[in-house]
Structure 1
Amino acid sequence: MREALAGLSVRGRAFLAAGVTAVVCSIILDQTTLARVGVLLLALTLITVLVLARNRYRLTLVRNVTPQLVAAGQPARVTLTLANDGLAPNGVLLLEDQVPYVLGTRPRFVLEGISQGWRHSVSYQVRSDVRGRFEIGPMSVRVSDPFGLVELGRTFRTTVPLIVTPRTVPLPQIPLGGAWTGSGDNRPRAFAIGSAEDVTVREYRRGDDLRRVHWRSSARVGQLMVRREEQPWQSRATLFLDNRVTAHRGQGIASSLEAAVSVAASVAVHLTHRGFAVRLVTATGEEPGSAWHVRGADLNTGPLLEALAVVAPVQQPRLETGWLTEGAHGGLTVAVFGGVDAADLPVLRRMQHHAGSALAVAVDVDAWIGAAPDDGATRVLAQQGWRAVALRPRDRLDAVWQELGHTSAQTARGAHQQVGS
């Protein structure tokens, strides 16, 4: 009852005040008719408060976001399904869902005819031009009577995440090189030379085909041994993104960092669709949620794009090199850089040394703030053995990627001619 009285709306408080005033004036002026009006106003307000106070409503909410992973600039639809599981009917429902500012205005709905067993669905659309991970909800509900005298508020605590990934651009096919690497059981064994003793075997496991049993090794070891399955090498690529604050210029979605993230996302999708297992490395090291894909994962780019959606600028002067282990030699490395300086040269040389093929897209950070174009980063990368191209605000990424392919092909031809001579 106390909650219902506290939930009196402006109209309800006006009715209550008018009723009290009418009753007092009727006593002073000895007006019976005025007293009846005052009693009617008081009775209407208090009965409404009593009814809502005794109404033990139970509302349930199910919120769905489709899709939960959406590219920047693309819409997603939020569906709210509400049901009344209480034993008594309710009045009018006033709904307001909480959404981050970048997704749009807060949606509001008015639902009437709330009865026992009632169920209803409403939906609205959200869209963001900014990448990131956003929480939709919680939703606040206000129950009102048909006269609008009392409003009781409730808030659902549940939220649903929406991940907005960076914008991507389809990239053309270019020669990459240095792609084939492998380890463990994924590495092929050459049996063209050598004896049968060189066959790689392992212990028999329940369910193994008996036709794979290697009897000579089994007799020597004293237990059943089977031949390992021969599998092709796996194409692996390391995608490096320099997200240091000192390496970029600009603010918000117009910054060079956002351009670099978009480039990295486009390259990630392109490499994955070409059959590469891709891992993402930033200035702070390897991103744990984007490690090598499991072989046969149906070209799922979700983990990579989710990791890129939440990449933030870091206040770190130097690049982390812990991911450059001795066992990481070979394979393709595609890097997206901003500005580079003399302190980065040892890391750049080490990255190029560990890669079977090192390609780089250098975002021209000076051009991103309106200054004169500068190819300094591209020249520095080329001096360290990288095949690099520059990206400026007006450049098309697919054309820049095609230029990188031409650079790679020319470098490969030059190296072949040197070897031939």
Structure 2
Amino acid sequence: MREALAGLTVRGRAFLAAGVTAIVCAILLDQPTLARVGILLLAVALLTVAVLARNRYRLTLVRTVTPQLVAAGQPARVTLTLANEGLAPNGALRLEDQVPYVLGTRPRFVVEGIGHGWRHSVTYQVRSDVRGRFEIGPMSVRVSDPFGLVELGRTFRTTVPLIVTPRTVPLPQIPLGGAWTGSGDNRPRAFATGSAEDVTVREYRRGDDLRRVHWRSSARVGELMVRREEQPWQSRATLFLDNRASAHRGQGIASSLEAAVSAAASIAVHLTRRGFAVRLVTATGEEPGSAWHVRGAELNAGPLLESLAVVTPVPQARLETSWLGEGAHGGLTVAVFGGIVSHDLPVLRRMQHHAASALAVAVDVDAWIGGAPGTATQLLGQQGWRAAPLGPRDRLDAVWQELAHTSAQSARGVARAAHPEAEPEVVG
């Protein structure tokens, strides 16, 4: 009852005030007709409060977002399915769903004719030009009587996530190198010196069946080796994204970081379509949500795009190298760099050394703020990378095609001709 009284609208409070005023005036002026009018106004307001207070409605909500993974600039459809499981009928409902401001204005709906067993669905669209992970909901419901005297509010607690991935562009086919090298279970052992039996064995791992131990290979290698049930070869690639705040310039969607994230997303889609199992590594290390694809699973860039959707700039100055372990040697490495400083060069050399083929897209961060073109591409070439610059007005597909004309041999030639003492302190 208290909740219903607190839910009186301006009209309902006016009815109560007019009823009390009419009764007081009727007593003072000895006008029984006026008293009957006052009693009628009070009765209508109080009876409405009593009816809504006793109305134990039970509304259920099912919210679905299709698709839940959408590219920036593309719309997603949100469907709200409401049902009334209460025994008593309700009046009109006013619905308002909470959405982040980047997805658009808050949708509002009015539905009427609600009774027992009532079910209704409403649909609206959301769209964001900004990547990220957004929560849609909760939804607030306002229940009112036919006279508009009382209005009660309810709020559903459930929310549904919507992941907006970076924009991607199709990339042309270029020679990548490092294919079919694999690692872990996918990397053959001792091609040059062993027999065919050596190719079909791997290191013993905890939990392996001891009946699969290959004793001849174990004696030759000096450690326990087990037979492979089958030979699961698969190309693997490491996608590196430099997301340090100090390595980028600009703000918002026009920043060099957003260009780097979009480039990394396009490369991730391209590599997975070419049959690579790809993992994502950032300045803080390997992203747990984008680990190597398990063998037999359908190759898709979904986990990579989800991780790239929530990448944020990090304040650290140096690149994390813990992911460059024993198992990281070999395979293809594709990196998207921002600004490069002198203490990054040893890390770049180590990354190139651990890769069978190393390609880099160097985002020209100084050009993002109207400065002169940087020399990051030259520095990467000195470390043995095949690199191409990406400016604010450059097309990523053209930059990717340019990597095909950049050879590792020419990069090493530049490295031999370069003077280490002349390396710049900070470049874009």
Question: So what's the TM-score if we normalise by structure 1?
Answer: 0.89
- 1:239 and 1:328 map into 2 onto residues whose CA distance is 12
- 1:304 and 1:179 map into 2 onto residues whose CA distance is 19
Whether contact under 8 Å (1:235, 1:276) holds in the other structure is: yes
Aligned-partner SS, 1:80: strand
Whether contact under 8 Å (1:349, 1:384) holds in the other structure is: yes
Structure 1 window deviating more from structure 2 (27-36 vs 271-280): it is 27-36
- 2:195 and 2:375 map into 1 onto residues whose CA distance is 56
User: CA RMSD, aligned part only?
Assistant: 2.8
1:259 and 2:277 equivalent?
no
Task: Give how far 1:299 is off.
Answer: 1.8
Question: What do the CA deviations read for 1:224-259 (whole angstroms, capped 9, x no partner)?
Answer: xx9634425210100000000000001111110000
Task: Give how far 1:107 is off.
Answer: 0.6
Aligned-partner SS, 2:359: strand
Q: Which amino acid aligns with 1:406?
A: H
Corresponding residue of 1:67: 67
- 2:69 and 2:386 map into 1 onto residues whose CA distance is 33
- 1:7 and 1:181 map into 2 onto residues whose CA distance is 69
Task: Give how far 1:195 is off.
Answer: 7.3
- 2:355 and 2:191 map into 1 onto residues whose CA distance is 28
Corresponding residue of 1:3: 3
Unaligned 5+ runs, structure 1? 204-211, 218-225, 416-421
Task: Give how far 1:32 is off.
Answer: 2.5
1:392 and 2:391 equivalent?
yes
Whether contact under 8 Å (1:187, 1:231) holds in the other structure is: no
Aligned-partner SS, 1:45: helix
Task: Give how far 1:405 is off.
Answer: 1.5
Corresponding residue of 2:424: none
Task: Give how far 1:199 is off.
Answer: 8.1
Whether contact under 8 Å (1:96, 1:106) holds in the other structure is: yes
Q: Which amino acid aligns with 1:15?
A: F
Q: Which amino acid aligns with 1:273?
A: R
Question: What do the CA deviations read for 1:9-35 (whole angstroms, capped 9, x no partner)?
Answer: 111111111111111112222222222
Question: What do the CA deviations read for 1:168-214 (whole angstroms, capped 9, x no partner)?
Answer: 000000011022223454345799997787685799xxxxxxxx9x9
Task: Give how far 1:375 is off.
Answer: 3.3
Task: Tell me: CA distance 1:196–1:389, structure 2 relative to 1, closer, same or farther (3 Å).
Answer: closer
Corresponding residue of 2:47: 47
Aligned-partner SS, 1:135: strand
Task: Give how far 1:313 is off.
Answer: 0.4
- 2:316 and 2:120 map into 1 onto residues whose CA distance is 51
Aligned-partner SS, 2:344: helix
Q: Which amino acid aligns with 1:117?
A: G
Q: Which aligned pairs between 1:9-24 and structure 2 lie closer than 5 A?
A: 9-24=9-24
Task: Tell me: CA distance 1:96–1:52, structure 2 relative to 1, closer, same or farther (3 Å).
Answer: same
Corresponding residue of 2:84: 84
Corresponding residue of 2:295: 295
Task: Give how far 1:85 is off.
Answer: 0.6
- 1:393 and 1:195 map into 2 onto residues whose CA distance is 53
- 2:266 and 2:195 map into 1 onto residues whose CA distance is 47
Whether contact under 8 Å (1:65, 1:77) holds in the other structure is: yes
Question: So what's the TM-score if we normalise by structure 2?
Answer: 0.87
Corresponding residue of 2:318: 318
Corresponding residue of 2:347: 347
Q: Which aligned pairs between 1:265-284 and structure 2 lie closer than 5 A?
A: 265-284=265-284
Whether contact under 8 Å (1:176, 1:357) holds in the other structure is: yes
Task: Give how far 1:326 is off.
Answer: 2.5
Corresponding residue of 2:421: none
Whether contact under 8 Å (2:182, 2:330) holds in the other structure is: no
Corresponding residue of 2:124: 124
Structure 1 window deviating more from structure 2 (378-387 vs 239-248): it is 378-387
1:181 and 2:184 equivalent?
no
Q: Which amino acid aligns with 2:381?
A: A
Structure 1 window deviating more from structure 2 (20-29 vs 135-144): it is 20-29
Task: Give how far 1:296 is off.
Answer: 2.8
- 2:300 and 2:280 map into 1 onto residues whose CA distance is 14
Aligned-partner SS, 2:106: coil
Question: What do the CA deviations read for 1:59-112 (whole angstroms, capped 9, x no partner)?
Answer: 110000000000000000110001111111111111111111101111111111
Unaligned 5+ runs, structure 2? 205-211, 218-225, 415-428
Q: Which amino acid aligns with 1:98?
A: Q
Aligned-partner SS, 2:406: helix
Q: Which aligned pairs between 1:102-121 and structure 2 lie closer than 5 A?
A: 102-121=102-121
Task: Give how far 1:36 is off.
Answer: 2.0
Whether contact under 8 Å (2:190, 2:199) holds in the other structure is: no
Corresponding residue of 1:155: 155
Task: Tell me: CA distance 1:376–1:191, structure 2 relative to 1, closer, same or farther (3 Å).
Answer: closer
Whether contact under 8 Å (1:238, 1:332) holds in the other structure is: yes
- 1:279 and 1:95 map into 2 onto residues whose CA distance is 43
Task: Give how far 1:345 is off.
Answer: 0.7
Corresponding residue of 2:327: 327
Task: Give how far 1:408 is off.
Answer: 3.7
Corresponding residue of 1:95: 95
Report percent identity of matched pairs.
Answer: 87
Aligned-partner SS, 1:99: coil
